[in-house]
Amino acid sequence: MPGVTGNMSLGNMFCSRCGDGFEPHEKIVNSNGELWHTQCFVCAQCFRPFPDGTFYEFEGRKYCEHDFHVLFAPCCGKCGEFVIGRVIKAMNANWHPRCFRCEMCSKELADLGFIRNQGRALCHECNAKAKAVGLGKYICHKCHGVIDDKPLRFRGEVYHPYHFNCTSCNVELNSDAREVKSRPGFTANDMNELYCLRCHDKMGIPICGACRRPIEERVVTALGKHWHVEHFVCAKCEKPFLGHRHYEKKGLAYCETHYHQLFGNLCFVCNQVVAGDVFTALNKAWCVHHFACSVCDQKMNQKTKFYECDLKPVCKKCYDKFPAELRRRLRKTHEATPKKAAV
């Protein structure tokens, strides 16, 4: 900050801006050995006095803080604010150190270094993960190396299996290892531990028939196997039964709708399972109250005579109203003989 001086000998002194001398007893500004009239000590850009005497100097010129930022200070590529002090130049932009972060894990990269990956700045660890994903592989959560074989999943992460040993027999594990959570009869030390397949099988923990993983909570027993609740699903629509009734056929389980659709009777009109009496006609099934003439919508029963027209039933009254030529062709095509619906 410059000093303001008064009451000094000014005979051989001149203003650094205008070159004029100073009046006796005139207040002058002394900045790093240079003297200025107070009215001359102003910003080189806006020609206004410096607020609180604070200025920035560049190439021999002095600027107020605002104009210096506008003219010379870079803007941060993330927050858009001026970068004062340390500037990180990367990815064709300028950054505050706190703003230049990994786009995957948000770690500050100013002192860690980074790798450019498809237009993103990534830390070395996240770059390895992104590279592995591109190859369809996993990154070990412990050594951060690419897992070329099957990974071992443990506590929500993936690892090289050889980083672990069986809790029971201490043998080096492979991808078949099982994670065991707390269960009745297990001690606290057994919580979330890994066991080889042999030791795991000795514990009698059921294995899901779908995912082949241990079932630690509720078990569904059906089709001669055990299942996770969310893995016991309809063989047709693959929706979990979640405690609802299922139907078994040839070693597979089906929901009610698809069981009847595949092996039972669905009404041709409402597409719902026919729960009571079934009308069978024209190679179709019908609810009793849905079997009706396709022309006049008159309800028909097992005693009503009907004719087939375009694979749909037509009552005799409507059939008789058809043009003679149409009735002749229908008789010729279908050998139309009055039929009764079967119940």
DSSP 197-249: HHHHHHTT--BBTTT--B--S-EEEETTEEEEGGG-B-TTT--B-TTS--EEE
- Structural domain harbouring 271: 266-338
Of 191, 232, 188, 189, the C-alpha closest to 209 is 232
Whether 334 and 274 share a structural domain:
yes
Q: What is the pLDDT of residues 207-231, one digit of tens each?
A: 888 888 878 778 898 988 899 999 9
Which pLDDT score, from 0 to 100, does residue 307 have? Answer: 82
In the block, tokens 């950054």 appear at: 95
Give the pLDDT band (50/70/90) at residue 341: very low
Whether residues 235 and 249 fall in one domain: yes
State whether 178 and 224 are in the same domain.
no
In a domain, 113, yes or no: no
Is the pLDDT at 340 greater than 60? The verdict is no
Domain identity same for 274 and 325: yes
Residues 304 and 333 in one domain: yes
Question: In the structure, what pLDDT confidence band is assigned to residue 325 with cuts at 50, 70 and 90?
Answer: confident
Domain with residue 234: its CATH number is 2.10.110.10
The answer as to whether 65 is a domain residue is no
Which tokens in the block code for residue 201? 């099988």
Tell me what the mean pLDDT of segment 307-317 comes to.
Answer: 83
Per the structure, the count of domains in the chain is: 3
Whether residues 258 and 270 share a domain: the answer is: no
Q: Are 71 and 52 in contact (CB under 8 A)?
A: no
**What's the pLDDT score for residue 191?**
57
